[in-house]
Amino acid sequence: MTISINLKRIIDDSYPIHIGSLPEINFEGKVAVLTNPKVAGLHLQTLLSTLKAKEVYVITIPDGEQYKTLDTIESILDRMFDHRLNRKSLLIAFGGGVIGDMGGFAASLYNRGIDFIQIPTTLLSQVDASVGGKTGVNNRFGKNLIGAFHQPRAVYIDPSFLSTLAPREFGAGVAEIVKMAVTFNLSFFEWLENNDLREGDNLQHAIKMAVETKARVVEADEKEQGLRAALNYGHTFGHVIENETHYETYLHGESVAIGMVMANDLACEMGLMSFEEAMRIKTLLGRYDLPLTYPIHDVEKFYQTFFLDKKSADSTITFILPRGIGGVEITDAIDAVAVKKTLSKFQGINA
């Protein structure tokens, strides 16, 4: 005997992404703000002065990628229970991508899922991590391997929070902006070549363009069945670099920048990109003091580490290769010889 359970449904998970000064946020129920001591010290008063709710609790967790773990999630949930949050409560993730990913994940778990809002405070999280509903934590097998798709109810991007950001963190965010332009938008790339993001209103325009690009990609492929994987351009190589350097030498965006340079080399080898196009991308990244090379000590070991990445389905490696500037190819049909040829060009090169 078979009993069917029909759960076909239409879910509307649409949400607004505001770019500009943080508006007043009004909420009738209880609100938990998740943040870390650094962001709280710099900007919590600004948030609290715009937040009107029945009760507001601030949950602070230690700063750093090494705390993006299930243990920290458990401690966040404990605090939410201490404050007797209920199904109608709201969580606000207030910080960089680490806070955003963990806040979203805790919200997806608490009482089987409550609403949350993203208020990203790093450039990387404003242009990338806060949009699209990927939430989660790392474990000893790798990065972001545990998590859920849980879309925020709204995202508030206030570029004024970035005034306190360290220069390297700024560069790491620029790498993700360049990633969006190279894969999806030639005219945005050309605009980036002609405008310095440290001047005038240029940054706000670039944030808007990057978020617009990400929003359209997420709409087309929320659960990363295809197109959304293009946003991993630079990440296949970058993850190996992060792994080899134990996440200590480079910020995530910095390893993505090197990864893009490597992916471009492979794209040139495959006839997808010209050497001149690869140079234009390298020049743009270099303007923001991003690292552009990495000394590979052992090509074979580097190559084998690709297979630890969860985006590599079993025995194949998925490469995201730009097709010129403004186009992208997602492929698992690149043969090992070509990949190792690219890797060997970085062998022993000092960064």
Ligand X SMILES: NC(=O)c1ccc[n+]([C@@H]2O[C@H](COP(=O)([O-])OP(=O)(O)OC[C@H]3O[C@@H](n4cnc5c(N)ncnc54)[C@H](O)[C@@H]3O)[C@@H](O)[C@H]2O)c1
Handedness of CA 71, 76, 78, 79 (dihedral sign): positive
Count the residues of the shown chain that bind ligand X, applying the rule CB under 6 A. 30
Instruction: State how far the Cα of 83 lies from the Cα of 89, in Å rounded to an integer.
Output: 11
Residue 39 is a binding residue for ligand X (CB under 6 A) = yes
**By C-alpha distance, which of 197, 219, 199 is closest to 208?**
197
Contact between residue 170 and residue 162 where contact means Cβ atoms under 8 Å apart: yes
d(CA 84, CA 63): 25
Catalytic site positions? 112, 134, 176, 214, 224, 228, 232, 235, 239, 252
In whole angstroms, what is the distance from residue 94 CA to residue 91 CA?
9
Q: Is 172 in the site for ligand X (CB under 6 A)?
A: yes
State yes or no: residue 121 binds ligand X (CB under 6 A).
yes
Give residue number: closest CB to ligand X.
97
- Closest to ligand X by CB, 35 vs 264, is 35
**Contacting residue, 124, 230, 272, 281, with ligand X by CB under 6 A:** 124
Q: Exactly one of 101, 158, 265, 329 binds ligand X (CB under 6 A); which one?
A: 101
Query: Could you please report the per-residue DSSP string of 228-273?
Result: GGGGGTTHHHHHHHHHHTTTTSS-HHHHHHHHHHHHHHHHHHTTSS
Is 118 in a helix, a strand, or coil? strand
Shortest Å distance, C-beta 214 to ligand X: 8
Shortest approach of ligand X to residue 120 CB, angstroms? 7
Least distance CB 247 / ligand X (angstroms): 10
Q: What minimum distance in Å lies between the beta carbon of 47 and ligand X? A: 11
Interface with ligand X, residue 42, by CB under 6 A: yes
Selected from 32, 61, 91, 98, the binder of ligand X by CB under 6 A is 98
Using CB under 6 A, pick the residue from 59, 114, 117, 132 that binds ligand X: 132
For 105, residues 6+ apart whose C-beta sits below 8 A from its C-beta are 73, 135, 136, 137, 147, 148, 150
Gyration radius (Cα) of the chain, Å: 21
Cα–Cα distance measured from residue 320 to residue 264, given in angstroms and rounded to the nearest whole number: 10
CB of 293 to ligand X, least distance (A): 21
User: CA 185 to CA 141: how far, in whole Å?
Assistant: 34
| Interface pick for ligand X out of 29, 148, 169, 243 (rule CB under 6 A) | 169
Does residue 96 interact with ligand X by CB under 6 A?
Answer: yes
Contact segment (CB under 6 A) with ligand X among 164-172, 188-196, 264-272, 317-325 equals 164-172
Which parts of this chain interact with ligand X (CB under 6 A)?
Answer: 36, 38-39, 42, 63, 65, 68, 95-99, 101, 121-122, 124-125, 128-129, 132, 134, 143-144, 161-162, 164-165, 169, 172, 252
